Structure formats: C-alpha cells, structure tokens
Amino acid sequence: MHDMHDIESRSSIDAATSRAVRDGIGERLRDTLRHQPALPSQLRDLLESLKKQEYRTGR
C-alpha cells in the first residue's frame, strides 16, 4: 500500500501546468456563465471578489 507522501509526490504538477489548468477551468466557467440569464447573488459576489484579486495580482 502507498503512503500519503508517495501519492503526493506522484500527483504533483509544475507551476506552468497548474496555471494552464486554472486558466482552462476559468475559461470554461466564463463560457458557461455567459449563457446564464442571472447569477445568484452569492456567486456574483464571489466572482467579483475573484476579479478584484486577479487585478491586484496582475493575472
């Protein structure tokens, strides 16, 4: 049986791959949400918060 350290070391990805995965998820989420008539207020607030955070970090 594998211990947790062994599993973590085999599943780690580099920063560039991680960024590409996040960007891809974000793109698909934006495309999906674009077709929604109205977002729930909680989700709208979270997206606004994310947008501000991305602006501050330059992403």
Pair 51, 45: CB distance under 8 Å? no
How do the pLDDT tens digits run along the chain, 59 residues long?
Answer: 455 555 555 668 899 999 999 999 999 988 888 887 887 899 889 989 988 888 787 76
What is the DSSP secondary structure assignment for residue 35, as one 8-state letter?
T
**Residue 39 included in any domain:** yes
Structural domain range at position 29: 13-57
* Exposure on the CB side of residue 54, measured as CA atoms within 13 A: 11
How many separate domains does the chain show? 1
**Residue 8 included in any domain:** no
**Residue 5 included in any domain:** no
